[in-house]
Structure 1
Amino acid sequence: MLKIIAANLNGIRSASKKGFFVWMAKQDADFICVQELKAQAADMSPEMLAPDGYHGYFHYAEKKGYSGAGIYSKRLPDKVITGFGNPEFDAEGRYVQCDYGDLSIISVYCPSGSSGEERQLAKFRFMEVFLPHLAALKASGREVVICGDWNIAHKEIDLKNWKGNKKNSGFLPEERAWLTRLFDEVALVDVFRRVDERAEQYTWWSNRGQAWANNVGWRLDYQIATPGIAATAKAVAIYKDERFSDHAPLTINYDTKT
């Protein structure tokens, strides 16, 4: 069994204070993919860099207190890749890939466009350059699991107030169509939805109002995988008993020893 967790931390230092690493130690996961570190290497404590039993690999943003992605792994990888070859977005610390034999585990933090038009245009640029990269990964023949905050809710079932968000970043028609292309044309798999088709399964809640208390959320965090390993997914879980962030960790168990 392969246990993989995806978690946007909205600040690794903040999440640590809220008990994320205590919880993580109890999960016995093979890989924990984290996003939105909001930290540079100098800000990282020994626990953050290499929690007991794990090796940590990170892609920091050049801008302080911004973005960042990482992978914690029990196994030493054959290869570590930070960035996907695009200068604009690699400077923002959005991508870490660890290779193990014919398996690649990737942590990705896709841009948000919610702060304004400038960032939405950057998000569209990211989508344009990231799709060919994902297509190349699929074509490589490797088994791949890409974990992260994609900042897009794919379908109406994936957010509570979908009618009121049709013109808002994260649920724009162009964004949703991009994910559809990823699933239909590139033939990658939304692993959570392969296992759990229920409504009201969210991973992010606004800090405004009573969004968390009323479960007015969005499903923005995904594990997207090649069909082979996706077909082995047996159980999925969104952890909401504790709050480490405005996102909830997403855990998926794969019945494979890859």
Structure 2
Amino acid sequence: MGGLDGKTALVTGGSRGIGRAISERLAADGALVAVHGRDADSGRDVVAAITSAGGRAFTVGADLSAPSGTDVLFAQLDAELRERTGSTGLDILVANAGVAGAGSLASTSAEWFDELFAVNTRSVFFLLQQAQNRLADGGRVVTMSTGLTKRADPDLLAYSMSKAALDTMILGAAKDLGSRGITVNAVAPGVIDTDMNAGWLRTSTDARDAVSAMSPFNRIGTPPDVADVVAFLVSNDARWVTGQYLDATGGALL
């Protein structure tokens, strides 16, 4: 605890699920956290929880599926940071926001394909493009990948493709930004018990048993399992780790 004192962090999709756990963990470690949601109100519960625990956080809202989404986000972020810190500098970017859902070769519509790539791929690229000049030397970037980029799932083909692009992006970005001591890495969760998966995971004992059996730990992952991995990557302890895909599936790919 305390390793991020004086640092500023932006967590996209920070208002729920894995993003909420990341926001709360980074704030507990001392960072001032910008909690992003589709609108500013969606992150208020997270900010309230963080501040009641003695941390510092504020909300920013933007629809990252829109071409102007990153512009809207950074306009709010810059204004809030100027007011709170006197600078628009950023130390940590966690690009966690994403959408998921079925999309096979046969069933994926052009509209759903575009939505997946707009949020999961395009927004992350332009978040990093705009963040790079705001990031302090020695900064940290973490993107959210998926275990599905390392194995075949025909029913989630389009989703997996949108995340696989990020696995390539971190390689070039890590090399590009490395001269400034900025690390760029991806974390790949497996199936995590979040509201996004509640419709099928929390309503079926068979589904829960099957997912648990995928891991040698024989349990389903939780948001804090992933948040703790992110906390390591953004800490000084991970200063020599960059351009890496970190499997956080609980061994589901073994």
Q: TM-score, normalised by structure 1?
A: 0.47
Return the structure number with greater strand share: 1
TM-score by length of 2: 0.48
